[in-house]
Amino acid sequence: MKQHVRLPQKNHLTTFSFIGLLLLTYFISNPIFGQTENENKATSITKERIIKGIVSDETDVLLGVNIVQEGTVNGTTTNEKGEFTFPKKLNVGDVLLFSYIGYETQKVVIKEDTSFITLKLTLDAVTMIGTLDAGKPYKSKRKD
Amino acid sequence: MLFITANHSFAQISDFNHIDFKKADSIALSYTNEGLYNLPKLAFQLTNDLDTDAEKFRSIYFWVCHNISNNYSLYLRNKHQRHRLKNDSIKLKNWNDNFKKKLFKKLLKHNTTICTGYAYLVRELANLANIKCNIIQGYGRVSTTNIETLDLPNHSWNAVKLNDKWYLCDPTWASGIPNPKTNSFSFQYNNGFFLAEPKLFAVNHFPVDEKWSLIEDNAATFKEFLAAPIIYGKAYERLDNHILPKEMHQTIKRFENVRFEYQLKKQIQPKAVVFKIDNGTSIEKIEPMNISVQNSTLKIEHQFTKKGFYDVHLYLEDHLIATYTFKIKS
């Protein structure tokens, strides 16, 4: 029984010392740790960042374009200048959906170097047609 | 070719008999009056709590059918212009581009549109929920249009891919009934247009790109489509297929036997089968001579005894299902 109790304790000790060793290695080997802000910014380009951009169609900037992170409700809309600032920091590989009624929805995947998105939406190519079914009985046209 | 072989002609709602759409429907109804200003958010709200693509699509479709009204004056204006400009492709394109912008503004601000607007919304919301869905452009035949001379595509609907199979639906005709006299629209949801049986659908829908009929063998030609009987919205609630007669206009002799045949969605009493016969001045309600209902097949046999020209309307349980014309010769 005693051995059963001791064994995990020993493991804890081993774990702690292992973490300690890791931390020590980190302090020694990571030159950025505890240094200036500038260098921190340099590394954050590959991590989370704020995305801004501007959306237009073939003639003008678009007000009210919805920009949503795919699979979430995180989102924003463009202002009267067509500009937006996405409210949440995004990572490489995150997908933004740009949607505006009547225009084709576009997806933009956040890449390593994405920080400002300039996007042109195109009007949906569909032809507008419609036929109503009023459910009224058919009536033949008769000559007389 | 791949497309055609991958499909089954019986792709219809009965594939989903094991799914209860109540949850999807109630989610859709809980977002009544939600605007269209944020489609990604709307798509998320309508689908996030549902597990299967069939339920997610149902919620989207149900929402569109219950929140978007059909605009009769927009429809008339467009129909008139498209007809006027049909031989001038540049002017027609310009008209369409300008009209489209107006139409989408109306849709956004007033939740009102014409067919393509419905099909567009269903497609957009479905795609935002990662469900494959297309707008299908084509010809729709209804009792009030000039059905023998459909010269331009006049209708839009959707095809949706669920569990690797394509299905058809018509959100416009499912949403309700327009009243041409008062320019108004009453919501009246018709569930028959949701994942409809392709063969019944083909009686009054003809896609410009014919593969979207989803019928593998013996799909009707355009000529056959134009000659087909008129069927009504209520037919979609009661029939799986309209089998006979294949043509709307029939010329026969007095006392000649005429056969009618339908595949029923659910059993009905023979008593509920009625013809209303319009001779141009009056309408007479009659019971067909011979009615049989067996294994959900309804067969009718009838003979006309008087010379003349008649519009013959089939009613099932007091609902207008189909119309034919009969010229009876001596």
Q: Do A130 and B70 touch (CB under 8 A)?
A: yes
Helix (H) or strand (E) holding B241: strand B239-244
Name the residue facing B320 among A105, A126, A135 (closest C-beta).
A135
* All structural domains of chain A with their residue ranges: 2-30, 44-120
Asked if residue B318 and residue B251 are part of one domain, the reply reads: yes
- From residue A79, alpha-carbon distances to A55, A64, B53, B69 in Å are 10, 6, 34, 29
Q: What is the CATH number of the domain that holds B268?
A: 2.60.40.10
The helix/strand/coil state of B29 is helix
Asked if residue B252 and residue B214 are part of one domain, the reply reads: no
Contact of A125 with chain B, judged by CB distance below 8 Å, is answered with no
Name the residue facing A130 among B97, B114, B233 (closest C-beta).
B114
Q: Do B178 and A132 touch (CB under 8 A)?
A: yes
**Structural domain includes residue B317:** yes
Instruction: State the average pLDDT for chain B.
Output: 90
Name the residue facing A124 among B44, B120, B280 (closest C-beta).
B120
Asked if residue B260 and residue B197 are part of one domain, the reply reads: no
Per-residue confidence band for B111, with pLDDT thresholds at 50, 70 and 90? confident
Asked if residue B296 and residue B151 are part of one domain, the reply reads: no
Contact of A68 with chain B, judged by CB distance below 8 Å, is answered with yes
Asked if residue B223 and residue B248 are part of one domain, the reply reads: no
Average pLDDT value for residue range B85-91: 90
**Is residue B115 a contact partner of residue B178, using CB atoms and an 8 Å limit?**
no
Q: DSSP states of B141-190 as a string?
A: --TTS-GGG--S--EEEEEEEETTEEEEE-HHHHHEEEETTTTEEEE---
What pTM, to 2 d.p., does this model score? 0.82
Asked if residue B274 and residue B203 are part of one domain, the reply reads: no
Domain residue limits at B271: 241-329
Q: What is the CATH number of the domain that holds B119?
A: 3.10.620
**Is residue B149 a contact partner of residue B139, using CB atoms and an 8 Å limit?**
no
Average pLDDT value for residue range A15-31: 48
pLDDT at B230: 94
Helix (H) or strand (E) holding B227: helix B222-227
Asked if residue B197 and residue B67 are part of one domain, the reply reads: yes
Q: Which fold has domain A44-120?
A: Immunoglobulin-like (2.60.40)
What's the CA gap between A135 and B237, in Å, rounded? Answer: 13
pLDDT at B74: 83
Per-residue confidence band for B203, with pLDDT thresholds at 50, 70 and 90? very high
pLDDT at A32: 44
Rg (CA), chain B: 21
Higher pLDDT residue, B39 or A12? B39
**pLDDT tens digit sequence for B43-73:** 999 999 999 999 999 999 999 999 999 887 8
Higher pLDDT residue, A58 or A36? A58
Per-residue confidence band for A17, with pLDDT thresholds at 50, 70 and 90? low
Average pLDDT value for residue range B25-47: 92
Looking at chain A, which runs of residues are DSSP E strands? Answer: 52-56, 66-69, 75-77, 83-85, 95-99, 106-109, 116-120
Higher pLDDT residue, B157 or A133? B157
Res. A116: pLDDT tops 90:
yes
Res. A141: pLDDT tops 60:
yes
Which residues of chain B lie closer than 8 angstroms to A77, CB-CB? 37-38
So what's the ipTM on this one?
0.82
